[in-house]
Structure 1
Amino acid sequence: MANTRTVTVINGDGIGPEVSAATIRVLEALKVPLEFEFKDAGTEVVAKFNTNLPDETVEAVLRSGVALKGPTGTVVGRGLPSANVGLRKRLDLYSSLRPVKSVPNVKTRYENVDLVVVRENTEDLYAGLEHIVVPGVVEAIKVITEKASTRIARFAFEYAKKNGRKRVSAVHKANIMKLSDGLFLDCCRKVSREYPEITFDDVIIDNLCMQLVKDPTRFDVMVMENLYGDIVSDLCAGMVGGLGMVPGANIGERTAVFEAVHGTAPDIAGKGIANPTALMMSAVMMLEWLDLKEEAQRMANAIQKVYGGESKVRTGDLGGSATTAEFTNAIIAAL
């Protein structure tokens, strides 16, 4: 196939291999000029590699420049550092991009949600810089830099400009963390002056959470530090049906990883009933990033058709009885 691009596929843990296989079936049905190279990451490969993020996986993504990734597990409170965090650090995937939009016929408490969470991905408390000072006392280090804050602010404004968005809101806690969050907010304000056509405001993180659950339609693009972004992006996902209904991307200067942001769901792994929608939506974002816009639109339209029409094909998490394969067949038929 002429001009074929290699995509590194990281199946991940739990239901990861199932949703990855389903998504690749759709991409192959689209006849996209892509070939897939499979690499390992996650808790299930630790015994084989003595790490949850093998060097060969990172090197493969560096070569291909793009990866499609299923969910990977992280043990709570002990064990190895997160493979997700490690991948973002080693590839300098500085921007986490999470569009959150209502899906037709998926009933939630909210309607017409259309938000974008832009999350700085490389520093802040989420970077996991912590140590024991003395037994019983742990110190976690929050690092905020002008470089990273300016870079993520510019990413948010560029995204808004390219996608016809009207407002960018900087999210912070600068009333308390006057130096760290104050630096982040100051960088956002400086960048905003370069985009006079886009409305800029700022909102304190706790107030944002209250305002979101009151009326999510008042926000558009929200840019924030790493830990706030992790929490707010999941909160927003809950407004449209959960993490199984939203895509995610981690984007750097030359490399991008598109992933399902939900968990590994070990309770249903191997049963063939997982919902692959999130990873399929992430694949749409990947096609757009690869400038395969026609194919991206066809895949997006097929997902919308299955959810928006009279189709009753739904997986168990949405009250249906369709298997992963049956849902995937419906998407392929809708192409």
Structure 2
Amino acid sequence: MSQRRIAIIRGDGIGPEIMDATLTILEAGGFTADYVNLEAGLSAVEKGLPAMPPETVEAIREIGIALKSPTTTPVGGGHVSANVALRKALDLFANVRPTRSIPGVKGPFEDFKIDLIIVRENTEDLYAGIEFQPHPDMAQAVKVITRPGSNRLHRYAFDMVRKQGRKKLAAVHKANIMKLTDGMFLEEFYKVAKEYPDIHAEDIIVDNCCMQLVTHPERFDAIVTENLYGDIVSDLCAGLVGGLGLAAGANIGEKCAVFEAVHGSAPDIAGKGIANPTALLFSALMMLRHIGENDTAKRIGRAVLKVAGEGKHVTRDLGGTAGTAEYTDAIIAAL
């Protein structure tokens, strides 16, 4: 029987290092695939290609699953972010970001185990990139919220909450000020909520949400929100459990899914062998669960938590002295 095909974007900076570590751990855990390496990011630009080449987009569309390391978007020059281009081209409308406390990793809430998940709209809002300058002293951006876009996002979020056995879903918005755009988003939320009577639906204004997250994170179980708010709130949540080095991410569409570490390419430490591959590894475990490899994902996840909890072979950002290779070997040994 032929192996499952998975598209791989090795990325820039520390990307290739953490991808190698991740795939090595997956193989040690018993998962193998036919990996198809694709170009994107700065490495593509340096070859005269767009940051997200059309050939890469079409390959992912055909394969259906991709694992992506961080890519660098050159400053200036009109280059579009590889991430934004990919999400738009493949209509990856839902960005999923889990936030969970990790044993041995210190955060501001050591006495409380944080376990929440954020579903962020991924293709609309101000990130639609509709900007213009009607006057030299004025620039404007158009905020785009649609009923179909909001409805499918909320439906995905409620389905996910039910599937994971969670009890609450909070819509984060600013409908008190942006009454038409955020108002529409909120209206669709409660419309969909009627179909899920087993899930407690509530809403919270985004600024209050941020305050509550850093004072009483235990009140949240799952969050669904717009693109810009989700970008900010998900990074805030990553800070509650140890930083972006632990933050996994998934971009989900109707026919494709791209799993990626949400941190940057960190060119300042590239090639030094000290990068932490945990975020990409956790993203890969989300990918395994997405394709039904739940047992393998569970085994590898337990190994990561064991190594992190012991604290003997973790990378510097986690309070240790280990390099990428030593940390990788420790996880494999824990399997």
Same fold, TM-score > 0.5, yes or no? yes
Q: Deviations over 1:231-253 (max 9, x none)?
A: 00000000000011121100011
Separation of aligned partners in 1, 2:311 and 2:102: 14
Question: In structure 2, do the counterparts of structure 1 residues 212 and 78 end up closer, same or farther at CA, with 3 Å as the change threshold?
Answer: farther
> 1:139 corresponds to which residue?
140
Separation of aligned partners in 2, 1:280 and 1:195: 32
> 1:287 corresponds to which residue?
288
Runs of 4+ deviating beyond 6 Å: none
1:50 aligns with 2:63: no
Q: Look up the equivalent residue of 1:292 and give its one-letter code.
A: E
Task: Name the SS of the counterpart of 2:140 in structure 1.
Answer: strand
Task: Name the SS of the counterpart of 1:48 in structure 2.
Answer: coil
Q: After superposition, where does 1:144-223 map in structure 2 within 5 Å?
A: 144-223=145-224
RMSD: 1.2
Q: TM-score of the superposition, structure 1-length normalised?
A: 0.97
Q: Deviations over 1:169-207 (max 9, x none)?
A: 001000000000000000000000000000010000011
Task: Name the SS of the counterpart of 1:50 in structure 2.
Answer: coil
Task: Name the SS of the counterpart of 2:312 in structure 1.
Answer: coil
Q: Look up the equivalent residue of 1:147 and give its one-letter code.
A: P
Separation of aligned partners in 2, 1:278 and 1:330: 16
> 1:320 corresponds to which residue?
320
Q: Is the 8 A contact 1:101 1:246 kept in 2?
A: no
Separation of aligned partners in 2, 1:121 and 1:162: 21
Q: Look up the equivalent residue of 1:332 and give its one-letter code.
A: I
Q: Is the 8 A contact 2:3 2:34 kept in 1?
A: yes
Separation of aligned partners in 2, 1:74 and 1:51: 10
**TM-superposed deviation, 1:59:** 1.3
Q: Is the 8 A contact 2:311 2:320 kept in 1?
A: no
Task: Name the SS of the counterpart of 1:267 in structure 2.
Answer: helix
Q: Is the 8 A contact 1:17 1:70 kept in 2?
A: yes
1:106 aligns with 2:79: no
Structure 1: tracts of 5 or more residues without a match:
none
Q: Is the 8 A contact 2:13 2:265 kept in 1?
A: yes
More deviation, 144-153/44-53: 44-53
**TM-superposed deviation, 1:47:** 2.0
**TM-superposed deviation, 1:130:** 0.8
> 2:268 corresponds to which residue?
267
**TM-superposed deviation, 1:136:** 2.4
Q: How many residues align?
A: 333
**TM-superposed deviation, 1:333:** 1.1
Q: Is the 8 A contact 1:3 1:33 kept in 2?
A: no
Question: In structure 2, do the counterparts of structure 1 residues 232 and 77 end up closer, same or farther at CA, with 3 Å as the change threshold?
Answer: farther
> 1:15 corresponds to which residue?
14
Q: TM-score of the superposition, structure 2-length normalised?
A: 0.97
**TM-superposed deviation, 1:78:** 5.8
Task: Name the SS of the counterpart of 1:19 in structure 2.
Answer: helix
Structure 2: tracts of 5 or more residues without a match:
none
Question: In structure 2, do the counterparts of structure 1 residues 286 and 7 end up closer, same or farther at CA, with 3 Å as the change threshold?
Answer: same
More deviation, 84-93/295-304: 295-304
Task: Name the SS of the counterpart of 2:268 in structure 1.
Answer: coil
Task: Name the SS of the counterpart of 1:49 in structure 2.
Answer: coil
> 1:331 corresponds to which residue?
331
Q: Is the 8 A contact 2:172 2:205 kept in 1?
A: yes
